[in-house]
Amino acid sequence: MTSKFIFDTYALFAIIQGNENYKPYLDSNVVINNFIFAEFCYNLYKEEEPLLRGYIDKYSKFISSVNPEWIEEAMKFRLAWKNRNVSITDCIGYIMAKRTGIPFLTGDKEFKSLEGVEFVK
Whose CA is closest to 32, among 102, 107, 121, 84? 102
pLDDT tens digits for range 40-66: 999 999 999 899 999 999 999 999 999
Report d(CA 59, CA 69) in Å as an integer: 24
Domain ranges of the chain: 4-119
Predicted structure pTM score = 0.95
Report d(CA 50, CA 57) in Å as an integer: 14
Architecture field, domain 4-119: 3-Layer(aba) Sandwich (3.40)
Report d(CA 74, CA 71) in Å as an integer: 5
Which amino acid, residue 85? N
pLDDT at 22: 98
> Measured on CA atoms in the order 42, 44, 45, 47, is the torsion positive or negative?
positive
